Structure 1
Amino acid sequence: MNMNKRKSKLNGWTWSVTSILLTVLILSGCGSKSGGGIVEGKVNVMTTFYPIYEFTKEIGGDEVNVVNLLPTGVEPHDWTPRSQDIVNTSKSQLFLYNGAGLEGWVPGFLKGLDRDTQVKPVEVSQGIKLIDATGDDGHGHGEGAEHDHDHDTHHSDPHTWVSPKSALVMAENIKNSLVEVDPEHQDVYEQRYENLKEKLTKLDNDFTSELSKLPKKDIVVSHQAFGYLCRDYGLTQHAIMGLSPDAEPRAQDLVNLTKTVKEKEVKYIFFEELVSDKLAKTLASEAGVETLVLNPVEGLTKEQANSGENYFTLMEKNLQNLTKALQ
């Protein structure tokens, strides 16, 4: 692909409410004006991936133009920004990212912004007690993962948003950052934040009451994205792979997991839509169990976006599938 063509592709992004519904494929045809991400007269907010985008839109409402850098159907662990993203972010008021190690590209990205940029970067996971993860072990069995290890292999589990309890902290951080850059609309931000908080609190209560009733507490998952969910609702995850969904499991890991499946009488192995389900299916057939979806809500597939799914509908499905698996 020649550079000109690529440039026109990048400039073709029309960042509107519908942008989350569109995919790179559709967009390659749209020729909008360059830098189409920025809307004058609104607070422009760049978000790094779906949950932050959704919460920011809910709290920001009409006062805010939210652009999600990550396209629909892409795994955030695999993504890196393009030149147009740097241009748009430089012109924005806020850059909201998860932090806790999810977006490894952020430090370099911030250094690459225009020198005179006024954008305020905010790490949305601040204030959440992070779970420590280690090296390539990839088996943070709930609480057990929280010891201090050698610093060379030491990093956090970044999947904070998968627990409604953590999502509540993130929503408040987003609201505070909007109020900080646009104090004159504080009242409407507070009001919309209260609505979002109410929905997240209800979700938190549903998870607490439903999961506490179930006899089983062990889940086998394809990637170790459910540490916060497990910590906050009394479950233990056994992951086929580590924190990054493209980590490769070793033969020994699969042997151990098959043993766990038998010992804990696990009936279902969970996989997720944005990552290949091949491994989960292989393990399931070897261990004689079935598979179910447990969604780490890192992004929507095109179909989910088109059918109006969101953080809440996906989390409710997660709760239904957990309930089914832990009977």
Structure 2
Amino acid sequence: MKSKKILFALLCVIFIVAGCANQSSNGKIVEGKVNVVTTFYPIYEFAKQIGGENANVINLLPTGVEPHDWTPKSQDMMNTSKAQLFLYNGAGLEGWVPDFLQGLNKNSKVKSVQVSKGINLITTEEVDDHDHGNADHSNTHIDPHTWVSPKSAMIMADNIKNSYVEVDPSHKQQYEARYQELVSKLKALDQKYETELAKVTRKDIVVSHQAFGYLCRDYGLTQHAIMGLSPDAEPRAQDLVQLAKTVKQDNIKYIFFEQLVSDKLAKTLANETGVKTLVLNPVEGLTKEQVKAGEDYFSIMDKNLQNLLLALQ
């Protein structure tokens, strides 16, 4: 009876998970600089740090918007047509990119770069649930959440630096110097994650959205996700019941949720299993409050580590 009650409570909130606003950025092309268009926040931050005063970086994804379901508008296409670099994650994150690139101005000289190139990508089985009398079936998907691990973020930073040098070789020295600064911060973050997470005895985390595969692989953890690779991928009834059992059997104390998607499922599961919730941020974008507070990739990843250590103690 208890598992049925948990299932009912969870299913009641599946259909009210928040959707994403389809807004557009307001960046403008600047003459005399390398104009760079990025698809979402982590690439934008790394591109700004490496580009410095030599670059004008425009981020397509507006503040507070989750990237999985966002699609660009005509102004985004116009800006990108005039830019020198278009940096996107790839690995299946931005499904709109092929059509977007085909739609650019025919005279555009923009160089498109997949910044996840060279990362050992994770493939995962996701079950597609069809409610039409058909059996469920598994599809293999690539996990696109590369940037959530500092180890992968270093490879992304290297790809971004190389793309700057290719389109603007006259400022190679400056790009290299700023890249080294960024990598030294990423190495320090990586070392901190390795050292601190090696001390914990618990290794299992329950998350709302399957966004932490690279983080878990690189630092010896295992994620159990309520939803799939996309935060609006609906969980199946039997998976929710199994997850509730896992929480109880493994004596899990916290369920993680994130800020750019609805926390209703995570909080319902936490209530039904008698555990607490904490934020684990996949750093897909910043909220307006985080921008005002001066938060960045590094401050958020530091908070993530503190919350992981609290949950795994």
TM over 0.5: yes
Q: Is 1:245 equivalent to 2:209 in the alignment?
A: no
Q: What aligned pairs does 1:1-327 form with structure 2 within 5 A after superposition?
A: 14-15=26-27, 37-136=28-127, 153-327=139-313
Q: Distance in 2 between matches of 1:185 and 1:134?
A: 44
In structure 2, what is the equivalent of residue 30 of structure 1? none
Hey, what's the Cα distance between the residues in 1 that align with 2:141 and 2:311? Answer: 30
Q: Is the 8 A contact 1:241 1:247 kept in 2?
A: yes
Give, in whole Å, the separation in 2 of the partners of 1:217 and 1:275. Answer: 25
Kept after mapping to 1: 8 A contact 2:212/2:282: yes
Letter in 1 for 2:239: D
| SS state at 1:222 partner | strand
Distance 1:135 1:255 in 2: 17
Aligned with 1:240: secondary structure? strand
From the superposition, tell whether residues 100 and 14 of structure 1 become closer, same or farther in structure 2 (CA, over 3 Å). closer
Tell me by how many angstroms 1:249 deviates.
Answer: 1.1
Supply the distance in 1 between the matched residues of 2:226 and 2:126 (Cα, whole angstroms): 15
1:104 maps to a residue whose letter is: G
Q: Which runs of 5+ in 1 are unaligned?
A: 1-8, 16-36, 139-149
1:140-164 CA deviation, whole Å, 9 max, x = no partner? xxxxxxxxxx9x8222100000000
Displacement after TM superposition at 1:203 (Å): 0.2
Alignment deviations for residues 238-291 of structure 1 (CA, whole Å, 9 cap, x no partner)? 000000000111221111001111121110000000000000000001111000
Unaligned 5+ residue runs, structure 2? Answer: 1-22, 130-136
In structure 2, distance between residues paired with 1:259 and 1:119: 51
Contact 2:281 2:304 in 1 (8 A): yes
Distance 1:137 1:197, change over 3 A: farther
Tell me if structure 2 keeps the 8 A contact 1:217–1:234.
yes
Tell me the CA shift for residue 78 of structure 1: 1.5
RMSD, aligned α-carbons: 1.5
| Code of the aligned partner of 1:155 | H
Once the 2 structures are TM-superposed, how far is the Cα of residue 232 of structure 1 from its aligned partner? 0.1
Q: CA deviation at 1:14?
A: 4.7
Give the counterpart letter for 2:71 in structure 1: T
Q: Using the alignment, how far apart are the partners of 2:140 and 2:234 within structure 1?
A: 19
CA distance in 2, matches of 1:164, 1:89: 28
| Partner Cα separation in structure 2 for residue 154 and residue 287 of structure 1 | 30
d(CA) in 2 for partners of 1:237, 1:137: 20
Structure 1 runs of 4+ aligned residues shifted over 4 Å read: none
Any conservation in 1 of the 2:65–2:285 contact (CA below 8 Å)? yes
AA in 2 matched with 1:188: Q
Give me the whole-angstrom Cα distance separating, in 2, the residues matched to 1:247 and 1:153. Answer: 13
Per-residue Cα deviation, 1:209-255 (whole angstroms, up to 9, x for no partner): 00010010000000000000000000000000000000111221111
Name the CA distance, whole Å, in 2 between partners of 1:137 and 1:186. Answer: 47
* Matches of 1:253 and 1:153, distance apart in 2: 16
Q: Is the 8 A contact 2:196 2:309 kept in 1?
A: yes
Alpha-carbon offset, residue 134 of structure 1 = 2.0
User: TM-score with structure 2 length normalisation?
Assistant: 0.89
Between the aligned residues of both structures, percent identity stands at 71
Letter of the 2:217 partner, please give it. Answer: R
1:104 counterpart SS class: coil
